[in-house]
Structure 1
Amino acid sequence: MIETYGAFILALLAVGAFAGLIAGLFGIGGGVVMVPAMYYTLKLLGYPDHAMHAAVGTSLAVIVVTSLRSVAAHAGRDAVDFKVLRQWTPWIVLGALAGSALAGAIPTRGLVFIFAIMALILSLQFFFGRGDWRLGDDLPGQPWRAGLAGFIGVLSALMGIGGGVFGVTLMTVFGKPIHKAVATAAGFGVAIGAPAALGFIVTGWAVEGRAPLSLGFVSLPGFVILAAAAVFVAPLGAALAHRLNAARLRQAFAIGLALVAANMMRSAIWG
């Protein structure tokens, strides 16, 4: 048992560090890395019944920390558009609360399937997406703002991600420079992670069969280990985002994400 938990801690430290790097580099909160890692780890430790809910809830809690760290690093470079954050945050919060409530009513396999489908779509966007695609010269106003922001909140809460992928894509197709889009989208993670993690705590509070030391569907050991590893690496990713042409990195990450999505889809269908 000691060896098992030792491997668990080492694996989550490595995942947390990689998630922090991804969060800073691409502005995506690291959830696409943390969720499958937590899901498979909890299954291996013998807690399969609510493994996906715990993985998503824990990831959302960690995203609050990594996003704050990433936003601070980007703000130091004057790259964060705080006007966009003020305008979009209330609707993102409402969507995140709705998504966490919806997740509580979805069985584990259904949540795994949703993550797999959306991860596959995101991998295609990462691989084939182009920075010169445009739908307009500025972000849409109301009522589109409320609808799009709420949609980002719902999907992100269901997947356990920070909304950066959706946010970066949205801002770049409406004329925001990529570095400013990445920096600003990192702030979406706080707006999503905080209310959604609270929702997962509430919906999982009285559920039986959860892993030890959990608050609802949030694993406290998972949160501490992942957050501790990720928070120190996120600034490195943010620094690299301003120095590197990330096209090849995005494509390599897209391939890995597609493989994870395929494996999780297999797990959702055949168990």
Structure 2
Amino acid sequence: MLYNTLRQYEYLIAVAELGSLTDAARRLNVSQPSLSVAITQIEERLGTRLFLRRKGAPVEITPQGHRILARVRDLLDLARGIEAFSDQPAPFVVGCFEDLAPLKLAQALETLRLAFPSCTFEGTEGRFSDLAAGLEEGRIDLVISYDVGFAGRFERRVLKTVLPVAFLAPDHPLAQQAMVTLEDLAAHPLIFFSEELSEGFMTALFKGLRLSPTVGHKVRSLEMMRSLAAHGAGVGISYSCPPSDICYDGRPLVTVPISTQGAATEIALIWSRLREVDAQFERFIAALGEALA
């Protein structure tokens, strides 16, 4: 339990700086007897003498008093910093799902900076769980993401609906088809993302069709998925679809849409339901909704 208040700690600093209870009381706009009693109470609670007070002589600070007063100054500086922080406009932080970020985040930041030149914007990338935690903890203001793992405690504005795609090696038996289904893919080794939310979402799709696919690899990044697929290690499944048909190491890759009904998901602007939505926030959403749709 904290027994001393920030106001009482301000009493200590005033006495230390002015060397006089009378002058400190005048600065603090309290009576000198009240200040004297408060100092005595603080010393009793701390269990040490901070000042030597003698009638007709300046107040002196004890060695232990100097050590404690140094920490009190740090505490008051921290408290002032908290109050100053609440008065300063913080940058508006846009989060984006990692696989979408190269396609959407730079465009989103450019849109906001051009439309609202007096505001400051920052961008950050993350997986579904990172972004959800960032929204809840106030580190991120708005997220651009597939709507996976944001149920219940978030608001959203849908930008578009997208189908998943399959990444295959050019010589894969399904590579020449215009469309494939999850039923087609379940017969082949698959490559999933290792993130719990992403893997769980994809597993649920197959489970809903009463399919039990074999997962050959789990990866953290989209390009690792594409590279493994290009080398024939399995079929990658993702909602992100880079425009290139070449993976990082130069191997060719085939991308085929998945047409299974119910497999589509949404790209959305997502924010915390507990966030205060003001007129400016609504303008940000409107600008991004128009630019990214």
**Which has the larger share of strand?**
2
- Tell me the TM-score normalised to structure 2 length: 0.28
Higher relative contact order (CA 8 A, sep 6+): 1
Q: Which has the larger radius of gyration?
A: 2
- TM, length-normalised to structure 1: 0.30
